[in-house]
Amino acid sequence: MEIVVSGIRPTGNLHLGNYFGAVKSFVRMQHEYNCYFFIADWHSLTTHPRPENIRNSAKTILAEYIACGLDPEKATIYVQSDVREVAELYLYLNMNAYLGELERVTTFKDKVRSQPDNVNAGLLTYPSLMAADIIIHKAVKVPVGKDQEQNMEMARKFARRFNTIYETDFFPEPASFHFTKAAVKIPGLDGSGKMGKSEGNAIYLIDDEKTIRKKVMRAVTDSGPVTPNSQKPEPIQNLFTLMEIVSSQEVYNFFNEKYNNCEIRYGDMKKQLAEDINAFCAPIRERINEIIADDVYLEKIALQGAEKASQSAAKTLNEVRRIIGFKPYR
């Protein structure tokens, strides 16, 4: 069975964009592939989080993964820092990574511009740690968004380079992968772009009904169409896209017809959208709260995932050490 690896940084709660863009695919993939899903707490150190934030965020993401349908008996779900072999492979990959190529990575250049006072080595070597996360399990497929494609190319490059330097074909080159033909892009509520944590335009799966309503009612709109069947501007199309995802076809058709007839009342539409988003999130939110309150269960799942991932990683790393010329661990 082909191996699939993917991770998420524990920088906050999962939102609707995460759910439809990644987690929903993960839930389906676990039935068809040998999946390793991890919580990338080492990656989060580039932002210098407090210790309590790291622990709480990892716990929250783990609970949300399970609440969304990931099954620890079908997929290996673990916390990155619980698998120490990843850090050693990260070291070996860094020894063969070059400053120029790391500095040319778009995500690094973006970070340099956005946080000039915190340009740390972890940001620079993010691609090699990401590569270590993937190839430690000899993964062949990685579900990622377009914004990570350059980092995926770096992962393939590092796998090829290791094979070339040590004259082996040990590491496969991991391919970017979408479980569906096209990734679902969930728009934000600020009128443009996709939903995201850093953009501040997200609806989180854990949000209560009051919070959801408040966020949706603040969504950007305009004064309404003046010409029948006119094209929807992006902020309005975003609302309809969200409605298409969480509302019934009947509800969507009703407001779409009102828009096309220049009779749309955005206040009514947003009230309905908020109600439908809450109806979608409520059972997931209830399950998250139930799981996150059970520390014993979460600890058991984290330990189980760490053991499975460590077995896979140790097997790879012992062979890597032998190939490089170091003694395997006993």
d(CA 119, CA 110): 11
H/E stretch holding 301: helix 295-324
Q: Is 194 a catalytic residue?
A: yes
Q: Is 215 a catalytic residue?
A: no
Q: H helices within 144-294, ranges in order?
A: 149-165, 209-217, 234-246, 249-260, 266-292
Q: Is 327 a catalytic residue?
A: no
d(CA 314, CA 318): 6
Q: Which of 218, 208, 225 minimizes the C-alpha distance to 277?
A: 208
d(CA 32, CA 73): 13
Amino acid present at 185: K
Q: Is 297 left (phi over 0), alpha (psi -120 to 50) or beta?
A: alpha
Burial 176-188 (b: 16+ CB within 10 A, else e): bbebeeebbebbb
Judged by DSSP in three states, 107 sits in helix
Could you identify the residue written with the tokens 């609302």?
A: 239
The dihedral formed by the CA atoms of 247, 250, 254 and 260, expressed in degrees to the nearest 10: 90
Side-chain half-sphere CA neighbours of 64 within 13 A: 27
In sequence order, which residues have a C-beta less than 8 Å from that of residue 196 and are 6 or more positions away?
Answer: 15, 17, 188, 202
Catalytic annotation, pick one of 197, 258, 271, 315: 197
Catalytic annotation, pick one of 185, 194, 258, 271: 194
Amino acid present at 9: R
Catalytic annotation, pick one of 59, 111, 215, 270: 111
Q: Which residues are catalytic?
A: 111, 194, 197
